[in-house]
Amino acid sequence: MSEHYRSVFAPGIFHSKIVMVTGGGSGIGRCIAHELASLGAHVVLVGRKLEKLHDVASEIVADGGRASFHACDIRDEAAVRTTVTAALAVHGKIDGLVNNAGGQYITPLEKISAKGWDAVIATNLTGGFLMARECYLQSMQAQGGSIVNIVADIWGSMPSMGHSGAARAGMVSLTETAAAEWAHSGVRVNAVAPGYIASSGMDHYPEDAGPMLREMSKTVPLGRFGTEAETSAMVVFLLSPAASFISGATMRVDGARPQVRQGWPMQMPDDSAMQREAIRPFNGFHRATVPKVFQK
């Protein structure tokens, strides 16, 4: 295993940049934070659990990067405002925001309570809005910046997770609206929609969901799960100068899964095809771990 993140982007591309990453204590957010730090950014980790944030920040520092962290429930408006203010007091600016924090649970629509619905909407939509608004008002309105919202594979609906699908669809629309409204301030806003990604987030589902999770790759034309690093690479691209004319876009990282149609005889790539460079998994994250659900 490499001792450093193997990013495809130019070393130092984010030198002197300050980037906040919500949900940075685990999964895809942890990976994004590591890649940004490896490219020169000071990463500000935001999440609810201080221990997880501390651990990731310690990893980044051990790898030679820079990181700090703030405990914050992004659903709490006052807490979000205070957290952004605290980060600015130290760094003076926020160049980028990755709205990665989120969560949901598996249940059919008829069994979702109002409380459960509100909790998922607050985590996946309202919290992202509050973070984006405060970063804009307190820093980006005057200095510009880039925001990337992490959504999900909502194309073709999200059966058994309708609350999350509704929230993520709302975030796609919010992304487009913010891109239009904030462009005059030199702010770009985009979204990344991961498909089936092998990350620790899969381990939050109940144990009886394991068989279903392990079979999901069979519905992906590229024949596999994506990696955290493949998602992170898209986020980093959208934050980078190379994406300076991209705003209001939602970029999918899903192996063409939404293109599967009933009645179409999908052919899975064979072993030789899976080794071809164009579709071979990219595993640049040197600290990545296999989700427990795939270790059985």
State pLDDT tens for residues 121-153.
999 999 999 999 999 999 999 999 999 999 999
The per-residue pLDDT for range 188-205, each reduced to its tens digit, is 999 999 999 998 777 666
Q: Kindly tell me if the per-residue pLDDT of 114 is higher than 90.
A: yes
- What is the pTM assigned to this prediction? 0.93
Q: Kindly tell me if the per-residue pLDDT of 2 is higher than 70.
A: no
Rg of the chain taking only CA atoms, in angstroms: 19
Quick one: pLDDT at residue 160? Answer: 85
Q: Kindly tell me if the per-residue pLDDT of 261 is higher than 90.
A: no
Q: Kindly tell me if the per-residue pLDDT of 177 is higher than 70.
A: yes
Q: List, in sequence order, every residue forming a beta bridge with 42; answer none if it has no partner.
A: 18, 66
For residue 201, count other CB atoms closer than 10 A to its CB: 19
Q: Kindly tell me if the per-residue pLDDT of 207 is higher than 80.
A: no
What percentage of residues in the chain have a pLDDT greater than 90?
78
Report whether CATH 3.40.1410.10 matches the domain 18-294.
no
Q: Kindly tell me if the per-residue pLDDT of 295 is higher than 90.
A: no
Quick one: pLDDT at residue 289? Answer: 87
CA gap 258, 250 in Å, rounded: 14
Residue 16 banded pLDDT, cuts 50, 70, 90 = very high
Strands (E), the chain: 18-22, 42-47, 66-71, 96-99, 145-150, 187-194, 250-253
What is the rounded average pLDDT of the residues 165-177? 97
Q: Where are the domains of the chain?
A: 18-294
Quick one: pLDDT at residue 1? Answer: 44
Q: Are 93 and 18 in contact (CB under 8 A)?
A: yes
